[in-house]
Structures are given as structure tokens and as C-alpha cells.
């Protein structure tokens, strides 16, 4: 099986990791086109477009200006260590053992507004470009439209009939033509008990997606049924809340 994740807005930039394991993103030509478009925007235009503070817009304007297609250089962080959001705190890649890291490289992919589709150890340059950003471009209608064909084709080549585990947000999974995926697509749901009812709580659900990715690579999960054994973070499979392509996992407050 292959799992897809969303990236994170927050980035680590000074981690001490083994850079020798880094790989090169496969869609650098397309990423370069997007960077050139973003370089045409002033910091104030970036702030308006991406709803950033003045400080963040200045930082990201500088990042786009300094961005280079060459990713085979020292000092660039692998994506799985660079992203620093709730999903990646759930995954906690630095604590995986060597066997799980090998499976991680094979079985996890990260959707990206700038890079399209990243392997876990693809080196990336610091950036911010969310998939839902309205580019207001005459040539690119939206980032999901820009990426959909390349990303969907790349996933189909990787899947070879194995299930796709969609652990990405709706914003990012829009870059995949899920109807054209040549395999079963499984979208797990994570709910926590709140006020007497099980609900999707964004903060917890994001972390649970990372925990599920960790479960897949640590347990060598192969099938949809294998996912039902997911019990990380106090979650348990809930058949009554589940559908074949949308298994639901629930958790009570005491299990957090």
C-alpha cells in the first residue's frame, strides 16, 4: 500500500540529520515554473495572496528569490524531516528504526503545492505555497489543476494495483484525480469523543494521520484489513462508524 500526506506550513531548517540519504524531487521543471511566477509578486502581493503577515511575506519573497532548481547540494533537508506540523509530530520519523525508514521511503508520499509529489527523503528548499492558493494566473487556473495529471500518473505507476491510503487533507488530495486511481482508495477517518458524540477534531485528526502512516511502516501493513489493527494514540477501529473505503477510528478522552 501507499499512503499520501499533506505537507506542513511550519518548517524545520536547522536539524542535524544525515543528508547523504537525500533524493531529488522529480518535478523540478514544474516547480521552477511556479517559482518564476511567484517571483513576480511583491511581498505585499504575497501577503494578500497567501494571507501572511508582513514578516512572513518578506521571508517567503526572499525564499522564492533565492530558490534554485539544483537540489543536489549539501544542506537541504529531506522533506520528512523538514515539515514540522501536527501530522509529522504524529509520524515522528526521527524515532523510526532502519527497517521502518526503508518502508517509509517506499510507501509514503507527500503532496506539495510547489513540488507536486515528494518522496520522504527528497531534498527541498524552504518555501510556502499551499495547494489552495488562488494564483490569479491567466495560464494556471489552480494548483490542483496544475498538478493533477502529473501527480495522478505518478501515483498509478507506484501503486501497481495496491491500495492508496489517503491521509491528506481535502485541500491537498484535490491534486489527485481519485476517480482515475487504478486501485482501491481508502480514506481513514479519526474521531474523538466530545460532548457525548464522536467528532472529527482537526488538531487530533491531523496527528492521527501521522500516527497511521507510522503504523503502516512499522507494522508492514499490506491490506485494508491490516489497517483495522491501528491502535496508536489510543484509537480503535469502529466498524459501526465505518465504510469499506472509509474506515473510522475512535478515541475516548481517557486514551489521549
Residue 156 has a pLDDT of 97
Per-residue model confidence as pLDDT tens digits over 171-211: 999 999 999 999 999 999 999 999 899 999 999 999 999 99
**pLDDT-based confidence at 15, cuts 50/70/90?**
low
Task: Provide the residue count of the chain.
Answer: 256
DSSP letter assigned to residue 122: B
Per-residue model confidence as pLDDT tens digits over 130-144: 999 988 777 888 999
**pLDDT-based confidence at 65, cuts 50/70/90?**
very high
Residue at grid coordinates 505518478 = 154
Average pLDDT across the chain, whole number: 93
Within 13 Å of residue 18, how many CA atoms lie on the same side as its CB?
Answer: 6
Reported pTM? 0.95
What does the alpha-carbon distance between residue 195 and residue 18 come to, in Å, rounded to a whole number?
A: 45
All residues at 6 or more sequence positions from 182 whose CB lies less than 8 Å from its CB, including other chains: 156, 159, 161
Residue at grid coordinates 477534531 = 201
Could you give the angle at the alpha carbon of 70 between the alpha carbons of 91 and 66, nearest 5°? 90
Q: How large is the average pLDDT for residues 8-31?
A: 84
Amino acid at each position: 500500500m501507499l499512503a499520501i500526506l499533506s505537507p506542513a506550513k511550519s518548517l524545520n531548517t536547522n536539524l542535524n540529520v544525515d543528508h547523504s540519504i537525500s533524493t531529488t524531487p522529480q518535478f523540478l521543471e514544474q516547480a521552477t515554473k511556479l517559482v518564476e511566477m511567484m517571483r513576480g509578486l511583491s511581498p505585499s502581493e504575497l501577503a494578500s495572496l497567501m494571507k501572511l503577515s508582513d514578516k512572513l511575506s518578506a521571508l517567503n519573497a526572499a525564499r522564492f528569490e533565492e530558490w534554485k532548481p539544483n537540489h543536489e547540494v549539501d544542506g537541504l533537508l529531506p522533506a520528512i524531516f523538514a515539515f514540522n506540523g501536527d501530522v509529522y509530530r504524529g509520524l515522528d520519523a526521527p524515532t523510526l528504526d532502519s527497517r521502518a525508514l526503508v518502508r517509509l521511503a517506499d510507501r509514503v508520499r507527500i503532496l506539495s503545492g510547489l513540488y507536486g509529489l515528494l518522496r520522504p527523503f527528497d531534498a527541498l528548499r524552504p518555501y510556502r505555497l499551499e495547494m489552495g492558493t488562488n494564483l490569479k494566473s491567466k495560464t494556471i487556473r489552480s494548483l490542483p489543476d496544475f498538478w493533477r495529471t502529473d501527480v495522478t500518473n505518478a501515483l498509478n505507476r507506484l501503486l501497481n494495483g495496491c491500495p492508496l491510503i489517503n491521509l491528506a487533507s481535502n485541500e491537498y488530495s484535490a491534486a489527485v484525480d481519485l476517480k482515475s486511481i487504478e486501485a482501491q482508495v481508502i480514506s481513514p477517518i479519526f474521531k474523538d469523543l466530545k460532548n457525548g458524540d464522536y467528532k472529527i477534531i482537526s488538531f487530533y485528526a491531523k496527528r492521527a494521520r501521522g500516527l497511521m502512516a507510522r503504523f503502516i511502516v512499522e507494522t508492514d501493513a499490506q491490506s485494508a484489513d491490516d489497517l483495522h489493527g491501528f491502535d496508536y494514540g489510543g484509537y480503535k477501529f469502529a466498524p459501526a462508524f465505518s465504510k469499506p473505503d472509509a474506515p473510522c477510528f475512535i478515541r475516548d478522552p481517557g486514551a489521549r
